[in-house]
Amino acid sequence: MDVYDLFSSCRKGDICRVRYLVEQRDVDLNVRDKWDSTPLYYACLCGHEELVQYLLASGAKCEANTFDGERCMYGSLNDSVRRLLKDYKCVSVRAMQRDDFNYFLHMLLEQGQHSDVKFLVHGQIFMAHRCVLSARSEYFMDMFEKKWKGKNLITLKHPLVNPAAFGAILQYIYTGRMDIDISHVEDSRRLAKQCKMADFIEALENKCKQLYEYVSNKPGICVKFLSLEPHSGQLQDEIAQLADSALPTELKVGFGELPFNRVDGFSTYPDICFRVNGYDFLCHKAFFCGRSDYFKALLEDHFSEGEQLESQPSTPVITLHNISHEIFIHVMYFIYTDNTELTTETVFDVLCVADMYLLPGLKRLCGKTLAKTICEDNVLYMWKMAKLFRLSRLEDYCTEFMAKIIDRLLEQPEFAQMIKEDAESVEERHETDSVPLVDEIRYHIASNVQTYSAIEEANQKLEALEELLCSINIDC
């Protein structure tokens, strides 16, 4: 009954009753109901700002990039509650970015898909991936090669190894960020020193100093969690070593320069081999399945070939057709690092493959590269490409450019044909309904017009466009 009373009081915003239940009846603040919701979630949902503040100060869990944290942020009734969540360092904006490399790394750690090693820390299990730990930490790389060699379950029995601190260290290794209860900061620092993580220790000490100054200047503020944000580029650079190592020896010219002066024998523990044009790329299912639904279906649901790598009999081989090894290298580096160097010569091929392999982030990257090449000679073709591959940002760049050169476009039969086709593509379009392409061009012609001369020029362009529409019998 006390638990039911707590949920009911949080929905009502009865802070006095909630305080009595928490402080006098010892009801668990983080209890869940049958819908997997917490008291804090209902307080946020109903917009009870004072109650939200009390629950957070009392230890309600709402860490960044977690199920509870995101639910509270999305469910908050108003902005004041959202600001309150952020002030308590419990939810970050990054938690709301779904199609995101950092979100993938967070889920890779949280769900442990295709993990190849488990850590048992005082009864608590942590699933991990040796490839990630080795790429990010020389200590783990060395331990996997020596003391932990061949072990799939590693038990850490030392009394000073705190499970919460170990979890925070793993979070930092995987995501470059860390969210931890203030009470576990010293345990994390001690563990990081054992793992020889100098960069982490320096970042943690700087953050503690900032936090002390913040709290000392704002009496009454209660900060329960400490958050470290990732260093720009460092995470991707270190995980890029997995892509470097996956390259076949014959193709490593210009690639494979590993940081930290590591030896050439840096082991990444691959569990899948992609054969492309006769070249073998030793990769990791965790990355390819986590980043692409295409590869997830290919590797998890369609394993009929059954071919094994001769040098590593436990590693399956998948042959990829209709793709060159040069283009696959771009795909591979994007999957591991969220980035790849694109050129005007390769971008169209990469775009087609990104669409086939269900990699929307790589498609957007291609769109950005193509946007830099828009000119009068190719803008119509670029717009068609943007429509075909559903690249809305590139499409917008094209229509903006069209608005600037509309006088010259009106003379081209291809432009008139494009308007006709766009009008026909509108499902159940009536005779006077708008045409999306025309609407976008009109918008860009009329936008940011501030002087009389610019207004006159815009009107002339709009009139010329209307004449074209009349000539092809389109009323919109």
| pLDDT reported for residue 258 | 43
Kindly tell me if the per-residue pLDDT of 459 is higher than 80.
yes
Mean pLDDT score, 32-53: 88
Place of tokens 């049958």: 34
Domains 101-231 and 245-368 share a fold: yes
Mean pLDDT score, 318-343: 93
Q: Kindly report, residue by residue over 162-190, the tens digit of the pLDDT.
A: 899 999 999 999 988 888 888 888 899 99
Structure tokens at 369: 């590269």
Domain limits, the chain: 2-96, 101-231, 245-368, 375-471
Kindly tell me if the per-residue pLDDT of 206 is higher than 90.
no
- In this prediction, residue 81 has a pLDDT band, given cuts at 50, 70 and 90, of confident
Cα-Cα end-to-end distance for the chain: 64
Structure tokens at 400: 């903006």
Side-chain half-sphere of 422: how many Cα atoms within 13 Å? Answer: 24
Query: How many Å apart are CA 132 and CA 119, to the nearest integer?
Result: 14
- In this prediction, residue 4 has a pLDDT band, given cuts at 50, 70 and 90, of confident
Task: Tell me if 199 sits within 8 A of 231, measured CB to CB.
Answer: yes
| pLDDT reported for residue 107 | 87
For residue 11, what are the contacts with CB-CB under 8 A and spacing of at least 6? 42, 46
From its phi and psi, is residue 362 left (phi > 0), alpha (psi between -120 and 50) or beta? alpha
CATH 3.10.580.10 fits 101-231, yes or no: no
Q: Kindly report, residue by residue over 113-132, the tens digit of the pLDDT.
A: 999 999 999 999 999 999 99
The rounded Cα 274 to chain-centroid distance in angstroms is 24
**What kind of architecture, by CATH, is found in domain 2-96?**
Alpha Horseshoe (1.25)
Task: Report the chain's mean pLDDT, rounded to a whole number.
Answer: 84
Query: How many Å apart are CA 55 and CA 30, to the nearest integer?
Result: 10
| pLDDT reported for residue 263 | 41
| pLDDT reported for residue 414 | 93
In this predicted structure, which of 158-162, 282-286, 297-301, 328-332 has the lowest mean pLDDT?
297-301
Structure tokens at 338: 């969220």
Residues 104-127 as b/e (b if ≥16 CB within 10 A, e otherwise) read bbbebbeebbbbbbebebeeeebb
Kindly tell me if the per-residue pLDDT of 467 is higher than 70.
yes
Kindly tell me if the per-residue pLDDT of 431 is higher than 70.
no
CATH H superfamily, domain 245-368? Potassium Channel Kv1.1; Chain A (3.30.710.10)
Across 373-454, where does the E strand assignment appear? Answer: none
CA-based nearest residue to 438, from 421, 412, 417, 419: 419
Q: Kindly report, residue by residue over 302-320, the tens digit of the pLDDT.
A: 554 567 766 676 788 999 9
Highest-pLDDT range among 30-34, 69-73, 100-104, 349-353: 349-353
In this predicted structure, which of 153-167, 279-293, 297-311, 412-426 has the lowest mean pLDDT?
297-311
Task: Tell me if 2 sits within 8 A of 27, measured CB to CB.
Answer: yes
